[in-house]
C-alpha cells in the first residue's frame, strides 16, 4: 500500500510485530509501536474524526502531536493524538464525532 | 524538587549541542523533550547538509543526530523523554508534565531550545485530510517509512519545499508541481534543480485556490497571482493530487520565555515573536538562555552552533571555564555562525540584492529562479564550468553552482585541488586547470548535487556523463534508459556504463551513462526504462 519497502538512503525501517486492532469494530492491521495514525493511513483511512459543529472530516496534519487534528477515541478515551500514540495489539480505535463516539453522538439527537 | 545546574528544554540540534557544551565543561545537565525520541527534527533530515567541515557539511542530518545523541549520553547528560515543560516560574522552577502527573525541577540555568512550528495558509478545503505540513510528510516517510500519498502538490518553494519534494520522490511519490506566491524560487537553486531535472514543474507567482474532495483530497486548483497578490481570472489549473503539502515557513516556539517573563520582540527577520537576547543568547531574565530556532528561525547547522554558544556562556557564568578559554570558544563559534549566515540567501541581504547578482558580479540565472533549472546558454559564464578546450582533454567536473551559498565540501574532498572556493565559503567554486582523476568525490559530496563529471573523449561521438543518483532501484551496469536534460525533458536513449557506491559517499551512487557527445552538456538525469512519467 503506502509502506516504503526499500528506501535509497534509509533502506529498511525497523518495525515492531504485526498486530491487529479495531477501527469502529472492523479488524485492521499495523505494526506494534508505530503511531496509530500511520497504521490507519497505510490502510487508506484518512478521516480520524468529524468536527462537532459542522461535521467536517479531519485527519493527520502535523504528524508530531502539535495540531490535535488527528485525535480519535482509543480504548474509550477521546481526544487521543493518534500521530504520537503507539499502536498496541487489540486496541479499540473509534472515529470521533465532536468529542464522542458515533453511537454516543447519535443518542444525543 | 530536584535541582540541576543546567536544565535544557528540547533535545533537538540546539538543545543537545548546548547540553554537550555545558556537560563537556563539567556541568550537570538535564534535558527534557516532549517527544518519545530525542533529536528533534534532525532524524527526518536525510539529505546532506551544507557548510564546511566544521559545520559537518556533506553529512546527512540523521547521522549528525546520531553523533550528537551519543556524545551527549557519553558526557553523562540525562535526557528525559515524553516530558512536556508547561511553565517556568520564579527562581527558575520548571514544571514538567510526565505522563499523567507533574514533576518539579529547579535549574541554576535554563536553556530553552524548543524549536519552531510550521506555518500554514488557509484556502478553501484546507482542513481536508490529505492537506499536511511538509514536516508531517517528512515524519511519515523518513521516520515511519510511509508514503503520505501518491501524488503531491507542494505549496512553497523555500528550502523546506524543495528538499521535502526531493525526499518525497525518493520515497516513491510523484510531485505534480511546486508552487509559490513569490515570483522567484525561495530555496537554493541547486535544491530546485534536483527535482526540476526529474520533471517537476515549478509555478511561481501561483497560489492554491482550493483543495477538492469530500472526505479527503482528490485534487487542487492553483491560480496565478498578479503583483498585488490577486488571482488572475482564467489562469486556474486543476491538478490531480491526493496530498497537498504546505511548506510556507516556520515560526519560533517561544511561549516558554514569554511565560517566564522574558522581554519579547516581534522580529520579522527572526520569523516572529522571540525573546530579546544578548550575544550569549541570555534573555532579559537572568540565567534563562535560548538556543536555536526558538530564538529566531535559521536552520539546523546554525542551531547547533547557537547551542554551543549558549553552553559555553553558561559554563563561564558558573565558573567552570576561565575568561580566556571562554572568549576563544565564543569567538570560534561566532565565526562559524557568521560563515553560515553569509551569502545571498540571508534574509536581509536577499532584500538588498533582490537575488540578481552573485557577490562576484555574475548575473543570476533567471530560469533557475523561476523554473528551477539552468539553461545551457546561461551556464558557460560561471567559474565552475570548464571551457570547451578543457573538456576535449578528458574527464572534468562541471560545477553547476551559481548562487552564493555557504558551502565548500567540493573544495575539501578533491584530492587534486581542482576546485577552489577560498576562505570565504560563499564564493562560487572555480574550476582550475589541474588534472581531474575522475574519482567523483566532488559529485557525491556536493549537498546540492550540482557537480557532474563529463568525459567528451569517452568514445568517438560518445561522451560519458556521471551524475549523483539517490533513487531505488539502482540501475545495473549495461541497463538502458532515457537521458533527461536539466528541465527533465527526455533527450533520448542512454546506457549505464558504470555504477559506483562507497560507504564514504553514504547512499549517493555515482551513475555514469553513455550519451551522444552533443548531449554531454545537456544530459543531467537518467530515467530507467521501467519508470513511467517523471515527477
pLDDT tens digits, B268-302: 999 999 999 999 999 999 999 999 999 999 999 99
The pLDDT, as a whole number, for residue B354 is 67
Q: Residue B8: is its pLDDT beyond 80?
A: yes
Other Cβ atoms closer than 10 A to A18: 10
pLDDT mean across residues, chain B: 95
Residue B10: exposed, middle, or buried by beta-carbon count in 10 A (0-12, 13-18, 19+)? buried
Q: How far apart are CA B116 and CA B118, in angstroms?
A: 7
Chain A positions touching B216 (Cβ under 8 A) are 46-47, 57, 59
B84 lies in some domain: yes
Q: Give residue B28's pLDDT band: very low, low, confident or very high (50, 70, 90).
A: very high
Helix (H, G, I), strand (E, B) or coil at A107: helix
Which of B444, B328, B445, B434 has the alpha carbon at shortest distance from B386? B434
CA distance, residue A24 to nearest chain B CA (Å): 17
Helix (H, G, I), strand (E, B) or coil at B41: coil
Instruction: Give residue limits of the domains in chain A.
Output: 18-104
What residue numbers bound the domain in which B485 lies? Answer: 376-528
Q: Give residue B344's pLDDT band: very low, low, confident or very high (50, 70, 90).
A: confident
B352 lies in some domain: no
Q: Are residues B270 and B228 in the same domain?
A: no
Of B185, B218, B246, which residue is a domain's last?
B246
Nearest to A7 among B129, B137, B170 (CB): B170
Taking the Cβ of residue A4 and every Cβ of chain B, the question of whether any pair is shorter than 8 Å is answered with: yes
Pairing of strands B509-516, B490-500: antiparallel
Q: Are residues B382 and B521 in the same domain?
A: yes
Which of B447, B504, B467 has the alpha carbon at shortest distance from B190? B447
Taking the Cβ of residue A36 and every Cβ of chain B, the question of whether any pair is shorter than 8 Å is answered with: no
Of B191, B216, B246, which residue is a domain's last?
B246
Nearest to A4 among B133, B145, B214 (CB): B145
Helix (H, G, I), strand (E, B) or coil at B73: helix
Partner-chain contact B215 A47, CB within 8 Å: yes
Q: What is the pLDDT of residues B420-477, one digit of tens each?
A: 999 999 999 998 867 899 999 999 999 999 999 999 999 999 999 999 999 999 999 9
- Which run of H or E residues covers position A103? helix A102-108
Nearest to B135 among A41, A62, A84 (CB): A62
Q: How far apart are CA B239 and CA B237, in angstroms?
A: 6
Q: How far apart are CA B145 and CA B158, in angstroms?
A: 24
Q: Are residues B29 and B66 in the same domain?
A: yes
Q: How far apart are CA A49 and CA A93, in angstroms?
A: 11
The pLDDT, as a whole number, for residue A104 is 86
Q: How far apart are CA B58 and CA B340, in angstroms?
A: 14
The pLDDT, as a whole number, for residue A102 is 87
Percent with pLDDT over 90 in chain B: 94
- What do you get for the CA distance between the two ends of chain B, in Å? 56
Q: How far apart are CA A4 and CA B165, in angstroms?
A: 16
Site from B129, B253, B468 to mutate, A interface, most A CB atoms within 10 angstroms: B129
Average pLDDT over residues B74-83: 97
Partner-chain contact B141 A4, CB within 8 Å: yes
Q: Are residues B257 and B317 in the same domain?
A: yes
Q: How far apart are CA B192 and CA B242, in angstroms?
A: 22
Average pLDDT over residues A15-43: 97
Q: Give residue B68's pLDDT band: very low, low, confident or very high (50, 70, 90).
A: very high
Give the bridge partners for B462, in sequence order: B459, B516
Q: What are B314's three cell numbers? A: 553558561
Q: Are residues B504 and B407 in the same domain?
A: yes
- Which run of H or E residues covers position B62? helix B61-74
B363 lies in some domain: no
Q: What are B270's three cell numbers? A: 527572526
Percent with pLDDT over 70 in chain B: 97
Q: Residue B534: is its pLDDT beyond 60?
A: no
Q: Are residues B70 and B198 in the same domain?
A: no
Q: What is the CATH number of the domain that holds B283?
A: 3.50.50.60
Taking the Cβ of residue A18 and every Cβ of chain B, the question of whether any pair is shorter than 8 Å is answered with: no
Instruction: Identify the residue with better confidence: A11 or A105.
Output: A11
Chain B positions touching A8 (Cβ under 8 A) are 170, 470-472, 474, 507
B359 lies in some domain: no
Q: How far apart are CA A102 and CA B189, in angstroms?
A: 50
Q: How far apart are CA A34 and CA A39, in angstroms?
A: 7
Name the residue in chain A with its Cα closest to that of B173.
Answer: A2
Residue B473: exposed, middle, or buried by beta-carbon count in 10 A (0-12, 13-18, 19+)? exposed
Q: What are B20's three cell numbers? A: 554537550
CA distance, residue B121 to nearest chain A CA (Å): 13
Q: Residue B530: is its pLDDT beyond 80?
A: no
Partner-chain contact A46 B141, CB within 8 Å: no
Nearest to B140 among A7, A38, A66 (CB): A38
Tell me how far the alpha carbon of residue B360 is from its chain's centroid: 24
CA distance, residue B69 to nearest chain A CA (Å): 18
For chains A and B, what is the number of CB pairs under 8 angstroms? 99
Q: Are residues B111 and B136 in the same domain?
A: no
Partner-chain contact A8 B470, CB within 8 Å: yes
The pLDDT, as a whole number, for residue B532 is 45
Q: What is the pLDDT of residues A50-88, one digit of tens each?
A: 999 999 999 999 999 999 999 999 999 999 999 999 999
How many alpha carbons lie under 13 Å from residue B3 in its C-beta half-sphere?
Answer: 4
B91 lies in some domain: yes
In total, chain A counts a number of residues equal to: 109
B40 lies in some domain: yes
Q: How far apart are CA B82 and CA B97, in angstroms?
A: 8
Taking the Cβ of residue A33 and every Cβ of chain B, the question of whether any pair is shorter than 8 Å is answered with: no
DSSP alpha helix (H) spans, B363-405:
366-371, 376-379, 388-391
Q: Are residues B42 and B10 in the same domain?
A: yes
Q: Are residues B57 and B126 in the same domain?
A: no
Contacts of A22 (CB under 8 A, 6+ apart): A28, A90, A91, A92, A93
Partner-chain contact B129 A42, CB within 8 Å: no
Q: What is the pLDDT of residues B496-515, one digit of tens each?
A: 999 999 999 999 999 999 99
The pLDDT, as a whole number, for residue A31 is 98
Pairing of strands B451-459, B462-469: antiparallel
B346 lies in some domain: no
For chain B, which residues lie within 8 Å of any Cβ of chain A, measuring from their own Cβ?
Answer: 34-36, 46, 60, 62, 117-118, 127-133, 135-137, 139-142, 144-149, 170-172, 214-216, 470-474, 507
Phi and psi torsions of B509, nearest 5°: -85, 150
| ipTM score assigned to the predicted complex | 0.97
Which of B197, B136, B123 has the alpha carbon at shortest distance from B168? B136
Task: Output the CATH code of domain A18-104.
Answer: 3.10.20.440
Q: Are residues B151 and B178 in the same domain?
A: yes
DSSP alpha helix (H) spans, B134-186:
134-138, 159-171
Average pLDDT over residues B212-221: 98
Q: How far apart are CA B179 and CA B156, in angstroms?
A: 6
Taking the Cβ of residue A29 and every Cβ of chain B, the question of whether any pair is shorter than 8 Å is answered with: no
Partner-chain contact A61 B141, CB within 8 Å: no
Q: Give residue B353's pLDDT band: very low, low, confident or very high (50, 70, 90).
A: low
Chain A positions touching B130 (Cβ under 8 A) are 46, 59
For residue B473, is the peptide bond before it cis, meaning its omega torsion is within 30 degrees of 0? yes
B347 lies in some domain: no
The pLDDT, as a whole number, for residue B15 is 98
Q: Residue B211: is its pLDDT beyond 80?
A: yes
Could you say which DSSP state residue A35 is in?
B
Partner-chain contact B129 A47, CB within 8 Å: yes
Average pLDDT over residues B90-98: 96
Percent with pLDDT over 70 in chain A: 99
Of B341, B363, B390, which residue is a domain's last?
B341
Q: Are residues B38 and B125 in the same domain?
A: no
Name the residue in chain A with its Cα closest to that of B48.
Answer: A9
Taking the Cβ of residue A26 and every Cβ of chain B, the question of whether any pair is shorter than 8 Å is answered with: no
CA distance, residue A108 to nearest chain B CA (Å): 24
Domain count, chain B: 3
CA distance, residue A15 to nearest chain B CA (Å): 9
Chain A positions touching B139 (Cβ under 8 A) are 63-64, 83
Nearest to A9 among B36, B60, B135 (CB): B60
Nearest to A61 among B36, B133, B146 (CB): B133
Q: What is the pLDDT of residues B359-407, one digit of tens each?
A: 999 999 999 999 999 998 899 999 999 999 999 999 999 999 999 999 9
Q: Worst-scoring range by mean pLDDT, A102-106, B242-246, B369-373?
A: A102-106
- Which run of H or E residues covers position B244? strand B243-246
Q: How far apart are CA B290 and CA B163, in angstroms?
A: 27
Q: Considering only CA atoms, give the Rg of chain B.
A: 24
Amino acid at each position: 500500500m503506502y509502506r516504503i519497502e526499500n528506501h535509497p538512503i534509509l533502506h529498511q525501517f525497523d518495525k515492531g510485530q504485526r498486530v491487529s486492532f479495531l477501527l469502529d469494530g472492523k479488524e485492521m492491521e499495523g505494526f506494534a509501536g508505530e503511531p496509530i495514525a500511520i497504521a490507519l493511513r497505510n490502510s487508506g483511512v484518512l478521516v480520524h474524526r468529524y468536527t462537532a459543529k459542522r461535521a467536517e472530516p479531519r485527519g493527520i496534519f502535523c504528524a508530531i502531536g502539535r495540531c490535535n487534528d488527528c485525535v480519535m477515541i482509543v480504548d474509550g478515551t477521546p481526544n487521543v493524538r493518534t500521530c504520537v500514540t503507539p499502536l498496541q495489539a487489540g486496541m479499540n480505535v473509534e472515529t470521533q464525532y465532536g468529542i464522542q463516539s458515533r453511537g454516543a453522538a447519535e443518542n444525543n439527537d | 524538587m530536584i535541582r540541576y545546574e543546567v536544565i535544557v528544554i528540547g533535545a533537538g540540534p540546539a538543545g543537545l549541542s548546548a547540553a554537550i557544551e555545558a556537560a563537556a565543561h563539567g556541568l550537570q545537565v538535564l534535558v527534557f523533550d516532549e517527544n518519545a525520541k530525542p533529536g528533534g527534527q534532525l532524524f527526518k533530515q536525510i539529505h546532506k547538509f551544507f557548510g564546511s567541515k566544521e559545520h559537518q557539511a556533506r553529512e546527512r542530518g540523521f547521522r549528525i543526530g546520531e553523533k550528537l545523541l551519543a556524545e551527549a549520553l557519553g558526557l553523562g547528560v540525562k535526557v528525559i523523554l515524553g516530558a512536556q515543560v508547561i511553565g517556568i516560574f520564579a527562581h527558575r522552577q520548571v514544571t514538567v508534565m510526565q505522563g499523567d502527573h507533574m514533576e518539579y525541577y529547579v535549574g541554576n540555568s535554563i536553556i530553552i531550545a524548543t524549536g519552531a512550528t510550521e506555518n500554514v495558509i488557509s484556502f478553501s478545503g484546507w482542513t481536508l485530510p490529505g492537506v499536511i505540513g511538509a514536516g508531517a510528510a517528512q515524519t511519515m516517510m523518513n521516520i515511519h517509512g510511509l508514503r503520505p500519498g501518491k501524488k503531491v502538490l507542494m505549496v512553497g518553494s523555500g528550502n523546506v519545499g524543495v528538499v521535502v519534494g526531493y525526499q518525497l520522490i525518493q520515497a516513491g511519490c510523484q510531485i505534480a508541481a511546486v508552487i509559490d506566491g513569490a515570483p522567484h524560487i525561495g530555496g537554493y537553486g541547486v535544491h530546485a534543480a534536483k527535482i526540476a531535472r526529474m520533471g517537476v514543474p515549478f509555478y511561481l507567482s501561483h497560489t492554491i485556490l482550493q483543495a477538492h474532495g469530500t472526505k479527503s483530497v482528490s485534487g487542487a486548483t492553483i491560480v496565478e497571482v498578479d503583483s498585488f497578490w490577486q488571482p488572475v481570472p482564467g489562469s486556474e489549473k486543476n491538478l490531480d493530487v491526493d496530498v497537498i503539502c504546505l511548506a510556507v515557513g516556520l515560526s519560533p516556539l517561544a511561549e516558554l520565555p514569554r511565560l517566564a517573563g522574558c522581554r519579547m520582540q516581534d522580529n520579522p527577520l527572526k520569523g516572529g515573536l522571540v525573546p530579546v537576547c544578548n550575544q550569549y543568547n541570555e534573555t532579559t531574565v537572568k540565567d534563562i538562555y535560548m538556543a536555536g530556532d526558538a530564538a529566531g528561525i535559521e536552520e539546523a547547522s546554525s542551531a547547533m552552533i547557537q547551542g554551543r554558544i549558549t553552553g559555553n556562556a553558561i559554563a563561564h557564568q558558573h565558573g567552570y571555564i576561565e575568561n580566556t578559554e571562554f572568549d576563544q570558544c565564543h569567538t570560534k563559534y561566532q565565526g562559524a555562525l557568521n560563515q553560515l549566515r553569509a551569502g545571498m540567501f540571508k534574509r536581509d541581504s536577499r532584500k538588498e540584492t533582490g537575488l540578481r547578482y552573485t557577490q562576484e558580479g555574475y548575473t543570476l540565472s533567471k530560469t533557475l529562479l523561476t523554473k528551477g533549472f539552468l539553461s545551457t546558454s546561461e551556464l558557460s559564464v560561471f567559474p565552475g564550468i570548464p571551457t570547451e578546450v578543457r573538456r576535449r582533454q578528458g574527464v572534468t567536473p562541471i560545477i553547476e553552482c551559481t548562487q552564493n551559498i555557504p558551502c565548500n565540501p567540493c573544495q575539501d574532498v578533491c584530492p587534486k585541488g581542482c576546485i577552489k572556493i577560498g576562505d570565504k565559503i560563499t564564493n562560487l567554486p572555480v574550476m582550475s586547470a589541474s588534472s581531474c582523476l575522475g574519482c567523483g568525490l566532488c559529485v557525491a559530496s556536493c549537498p546540492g548535487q550540482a557537480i557532474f563529471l563529463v568525459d567528451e573523449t569517452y568514445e568517438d561521438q560518445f561522451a560519458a556523463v556521471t551524475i549523483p543518483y539517490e533513487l531505488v532501484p539502482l540501475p545495473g551496469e549495461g541497463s538502458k534508459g532515457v537521458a533527461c536534460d536539466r528541465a527533465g525533458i527526455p533527450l533520448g536513449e542512454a546506457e549505464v556504463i558504470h555504477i559506483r557506491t562507497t560507504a564514504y559517499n553514504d547512499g549517493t551512487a555515482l551513475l555514469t551513462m553513455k550519451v551522444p557527445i552533443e548531449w554531454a552538456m545537456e544530459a543531467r538525469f537518467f530515467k530507467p526504462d521501467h519508470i513511467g512519467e517523471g515527477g
